[in-house]
Structure 1
Amino acid sequence: MSDLKLLTERLIENKKAEVQVKIKEAEAEKAQLLEESARSLAEEKAKQISLIDSRLARKFEQDKHTLQINKRNELLSEKQKMLKLVFNKAEEQMNQWTDTEFQQFLLSVLKQHKDSESIELILGQYSIDKVSDDWINKVAKEEVNIQLSTETISKKNGFILKKTGIEYNYLFDELVKDIKGQLVSSVSKQLFD
């Protein structure tokens, strides 16, 4: 019986040894799986962080670009306001010309048309008091054959010359509007450079 007991003990020991080997193999496999899972998770985490970083970088660039555009638009808007103010001020100063200044301007324009047979002068409503019939007869007629029209241009300052069916517009708001396109770049340089 002791042999049987010994044999049983050996079988039990062998089984225990086999079980211990299997446990060690299972633990090694478990450790390897945990290590692979940890590595896989670390790789996924790095990948996600990289994606988030690239999204954030794109978003940052978009926001930066948007801010630059907004800043440029605000600056352009302010420049346009300043330019408008400058040209409005120019028109305002023309509107405040004295009779003499207005007459000098009119005379310089008439000299450009001195080869004309006849010119009709139509004054703006706000310029009527700046030119008299007496001035037309004494000064302007020396340069050109001119007739002062009884017609006026409502709510305007300046004048229109009519000759042979063509109208030459010297209304101050129109003069400023016309010259604006030509002067805007030089005025901008003077104001903003």
Structure 2
Amino acid sequence: MEAIEKIVEQLNQQSELERQQLKSAEMTRIDQSYQAELQEIEVDHQKRLEKKLAELKKSYKQSSNRLNVSQKQVILNHKQAILERIFSEAIMEMEKLPLEEQQEFAANALSKLQLSGEVIFSAGEKSAGIFNEPWLDRQNEVLAYQLVSGDSISGQAGFLLDKAGVQYNFLYQSIVREVQSRESYQFAQQLFE
């Protein structure tokens, strides 16, 4: 009976050894599988993290660019408002010039025109008292052409000439707007640099 007990014991030991080896092999396989899955999860997580970071950087850059454009537009609008105010004030300053200076300006402008015959002279409503009939008579004495009084131009200062449908515009607002269209870029550079 001892021999049977020894065989049973050897079988139990062998069985225990196989069980331990199977357990160790299974634990190693499970651990390797776990490590592989963990590494795969970490790689996937890293990829998603990098993708999200790239999206955030792109979104930040777009927002930053929009903000910069918006700020530049606000600054540009502010500069344009300043320039517009300057040119509007220039018109008002021209309207406020002393009578003699306005008459001298008009006389100089009229003397430079190469016209003949009758020319219709329409004073702006704001300048009607400055460019009156006695002033027109004095101009007609020195000009090579004849000024004929026309209708006043509502809400304007300065004057307008009409020679057979061709108009020569000396309304202060038009003069300043002409200067503005030609020179506003240079004014802006001088003012805002």
TM range, smaller chain = over 0.9
With 66-75 and 168-177 compared, the bigger mean Cα shift is at 168-177
Deviation of 1:114 (Å):
4.6
| Counterpart contact for 1:110–1:144, Cα < 8 Å | no
Q: CA deviation at 1:140?
A: 4.5
Q: Which amino acid aligns with 1:158?
A: G
Report the identity percentage.
21
Question: What are structure 1's unaligned runs of at least 5 residues?
Answer: none
Q: How many angstroms does 1:138 deviate by?
A: 2.5
1:114-140, CA deviations, whole angstroms, 9 ceiling, x for partnerless residues? 542222211111111012322222245
Q: TM-score, normalised by structure 2?
A: 0.93
Q: CA deviation at 1:147?
A: 2.9
84-93 or 126-135: bigger deviation: 126-135
Equivalenced residue count is: 193
Deviation at 1:148, TM superposition (A): 3.9
Instruction: Map 1:126-165 onto structure 2 (within 5 A).
Output: 126-165=126-165
Segment of structure 1 superposing worse, 138-147 or 92-101: 138-147
Inter-CA distance 148–160: structure 2 relative to 1 (3 Å threshold): same
Q: Which residue of 1 aligns with 2:93?
A: 93
The AA in structure 1 aligned to 2:22 is K
Q: Which residue of 1 aligns with 2:111?
A: 111
Residue 123 of structure 1 contacts residue 158 of structure 1 at CA under 8 Å; is this kept in 2? yes
Using the TM superposition, name which of 42-51 and 109-118 deviates more: 109-118
**Counterpart code for 2:31:** A
Give the distance between the partners of 1:187 and 1:9, measured in 2 at CA: 109
Asked if residue 121 in structure 1 is aligned to residue 125 in structure 2, the reply is no
Which letter does structure 2 place at the counterpart of 1:145?
Answer: Y
Amino acid at match of 1:80: Q
Provide the rounded CA distance (Å) in 1 between the counterparts of 2:140 and 2:3. 151
CA contact (8 A) 2:99 2:130 kept: yes
In 2: Cα distance, 1:133 partner to 1:118 partner? 15
Letter of the 2:100 counterpart: T
Q: Is the 8 A contact 2:115 2:145 kept in 1?
A: no
Whole-angstrom CA distance in 1 between matches of 2:103 and 2:144: 14
Q: CA deviation at 1:12?
A: 1.4
1:55-78 deviations in whole A, cap 9, x for unaligned?
Answer: 111111111111111111111111
The answer to whether the Cα contact below 8 Å between 1:156 and 1:171 also exists between their aligned partners in 2 is yes
Provide runs of 4+ in structure 1 moved above 4 Å. Answer: none
